[in-house]
């Protein structure tokens, strides 16, 4: 029994120096009840918060939240319950997990460490589930003991502990816990594995969960090596903003695919084999083409011999918005207005409004000596076509007076440097080949 507490504290030691507050995820089941009591014995009460997420999927879920609150109160620990709505139109298990992590994310602060009660049996179950569903090396490695969760950290201090040890400890301590009846419903994939498949494996190969736990560690080492190789390749192929198509093609297929997976992961997206094949078609497209691939929430674009990532946003509709010193912060980007920057800027904001570009728009940039089309200005400043429709156009009446970040128009410039208003438009993008120059 003391060995479990000792192992628990060893896991906590990996995060103690960088943790200000410990948040215990408490469902009321056996695993999380053991986690709660171990945390209460190992950590100061003034640095603990107990959180229950009520998914509202069971009729008695509110009673379980009350039980969790009582458990926290018995240990003199602060408690918070977070109710969530679960969209079960696709996978109820996945939707519940996403809603749960979103709830934790709303509570966690930058120096927090979230403690969850996943154990060794859960790890083996996860590895088998992902293998059956189809996954890569990262998925086969199962759940990590620790990882970042937003600006906070997640820790699973019981991940190397088999469930029977948790049960023995709970019984010896005479703890109480809840049995969720949905855990026996075989319609859920994980429940089917837990009750029908895993017992057969255990009967034939006793202790296989422990060996799979070791395998998960080997796979994580292999994943780290893959990531390190991807970082080496990234330094020669591009950066987090863009990848050179010719340099990508020069890599052999496994290294190219490895780099693409890593590149997307760094941008917060995960892609599968079928999507990688679609990206390959962009890479090998003719040099004079600008194809794009749409993925959920994301556009993958080929531009000037490179591939870039861009969020899939609708074009901004600027409807004669008055321009003020505060500028605009919108989903599509940031329009900033600064004074006294030492640049030649717009002489005044009086009467200036912002609209979208129109067919046939022309202006006369200061110092150019003649008028030209907005299309030509965009091309000269290498503004990608997909960013042009959202670019703010500053006008007074019907006359264009400035293109933020590109030019101020003749007759509207400040009399001397540092006396006007410097405008800059920074489009929202996962990858932008050169933000707009400072005006």
Mind listing the pLDDT tens digit of every residue in the chain (439 residues)? 578 999 999 999 999 999 999 999 999 999 999 999 999 999 999 999 999 999 888 888 899 999 999 999 999 999 999 999 887 666 788 888 889 999 999 999 999 999 999 999 999 999 999 999 888 888 899 999 999 998 899 999 999 999 999 999 999 999 999 988 888 888 888 899 999 999 999 999 998 999 999 999 999 999 999 999 999 999 999 988 889 999 999 999 999 999 999 999 888 888 888 888 888 888 887 766 677 788 777 888 888 888 888 877 778 899 889 999 999 988 888 999 998 766 778 999 999 999 999 999 999 999 888 899 999 999 999 888 888 989 999 999 999 999 999 999 999 998 877 678 999 999 876 654 444 443 4
Q: CB neighbours of 272 closer than 8 A, spacing ≥ 6?
A: none
Residue 383: per-residue pLDDT: 87
Rg (CA), the chain: 28
Within 10 A of 71 (CB to CB), how many other CB atoms are there?
Answer: 24
Question: Across the strands, what pairs with 243?
Answer: 238, 307
Which of the four CATH numbers 3.30.465.60, 3.30.70.1560, 3.40.30.10, 3.30.70.980 does domain 238-311 have? 3.30.465.60
> How far, in Å, CA of 44 to CA of 279, rounded?
51
Please tell me the CATH superfamily of domain 2-215, with its number. HUPs (3.40.50.620)
Question: Do 238-311 and 2-215 have the same topology in CATH?
Answer: no
State how beta strands 372-373 and 328-330 pair. Answer: unpaired
- Structure pTM? 0.72
The token pair that represents 428 in the structure block: 């929202």
Which sequence spans correspond to the domains of the chain? 2-215, 238-311, 321-427
The token pair that represents 18 in the structure block: 């960088």
């Amino acid at each position: 029994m003391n060995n479990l507490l000792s192992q628990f504290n060893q896991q906590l030691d990996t995060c103690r120096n960088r943790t200000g507050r410990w948040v215990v995820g408490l469902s009321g089941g056996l695993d999380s009840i053991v986690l709660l009591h171990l945390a209460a014995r190992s950590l100061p009460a003034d640095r603990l918060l107990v959180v229950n997420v009520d998914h509202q999927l069971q009729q008695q879920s509110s009673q379980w939240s009350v039980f969790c609150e009582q458990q926290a109160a018995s240990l003199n620990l602060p408690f918070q319950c977070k109710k969530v709505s679960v969209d079960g139109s696709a996978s109820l298990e996945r939707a519940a997990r996403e809603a749960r992590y979103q709830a934790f994310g709303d509570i966690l602060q930058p120096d927090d460490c979230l403690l969850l009660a996943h154990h060794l049996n859960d790890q083996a179950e996860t590895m088998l589930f992902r293998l059956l569903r189809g996954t890569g090396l990262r998925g086969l490695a199962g759940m990590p003991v620790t990882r970042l969760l937003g600006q906070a950290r997640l820790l699973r201090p019981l991940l190397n502990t088999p469930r029977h040890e948790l049960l023995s400890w709970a019984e010896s301590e005479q703890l109480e816990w809840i049995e969720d009846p949905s855990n026996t419903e075989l319609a859920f994939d994980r429940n089917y594995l837990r009750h029908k498949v895993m017992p057969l494996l255990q009967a034939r190969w006793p202790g296989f969960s422990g060996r799979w736990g070791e395998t998960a560690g080997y796979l994580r080492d292999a994943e780290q090596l893959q990531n390190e190789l991807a970082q080496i390749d990234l330094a020669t192929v591009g950066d987090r903003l863009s990848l050179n198509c010719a340099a990508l093609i020069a890599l052999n297929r496994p290294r190219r695919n490895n780099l693409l997976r890593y590149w997307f992961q760094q941008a917060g997206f995960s892609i599968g084999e079928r999507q990688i094949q679609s990206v390959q078609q962009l890479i090998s497209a003719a040099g004079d083409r600008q194809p794009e691939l749409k993925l959920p929430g994301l556009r993958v674009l080929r531009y000037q011999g490179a591939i870039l990532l861009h969020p899939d946003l609708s074009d901004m509709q600027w409807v004669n918005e008055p321009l003020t010193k505060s500028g605009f912060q919108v989903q599509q980007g940031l329009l900033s207005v600064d004074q006294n920057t030492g640049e030649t800027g717009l002489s005044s904001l009086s009467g200036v409004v912002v609209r979208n570009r129109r067919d046939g728009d022309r202006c006369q940039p200061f110092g150019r000596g003649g008028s030209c089309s907005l299309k030509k200005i965009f091309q000269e400043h290498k503004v990608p076509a997909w960013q042009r429709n959202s670019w703010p156009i500053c006008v007074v009446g019907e006359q264009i007076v400035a293109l933020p970040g590109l030019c101020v128009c003749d007759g509207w410039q400040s009399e001397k440097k540092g006396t006007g208003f410097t405008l800059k438009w920074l489009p929202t993008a996962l990858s932008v080949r050169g933000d707009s120059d400072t005006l």
